[in-house]
Amino acid sequence: MVIKFQTKDETGRTLRMTDWNWIHIIRRHPEISSEKERIIETIENPDKILPSLKDENVRYYYKYYKERYSMNKFMMVLVKY
């Protein structure tokens, strides 16, 4: 398993993205392939964290980016602990 990146969230948890996970995400959402730094920033400094209703180990991290090219100005990163 190769680590694409590793960071800590605002709760102090160490989170990592493996190459396998990154490829899986990019295949489904190619529009975010150039937004790695925003993904990391969203994890490190989210505007909001919400729990999943289906899985107690999943959280949704949100951050607003006014200058984002997407119609959706919020970056959402799903994190599974």
> What element of type H or E holds 71?
none
62, 50 contact by CB (below 8 A): yes
DSSP string, 11-62: TS-EEEEEHHHHHHHHHH-GGGTT-HHHHHHHHHS-SEEEE-SS-TTEEEEE
Give the model's pLDDT for residue 72. Answer: 79
Could you tell me the residue range of the domain that residue 69 belongs to? 3-80
User: How many structural domains compose the chain?
Assistant: 1
pLDDT tens for the chain, 81 residues long, are 799 999 999 889 999 999 999 999 999 999 888 899 999 999 999 999 999 999 999 999 999 998 877 677 899 999 998
Give the model's pLDDT for residue 16. Answer: 94
Give the model's pLDDT for residue 65. Answer: 92
Give the model's pLDDT for residue 42. Answer: 96
Rg (CA), the chain: 12
Question: CA-CA distance, 41 to 36, in Å (whole number)?
Answer: 9
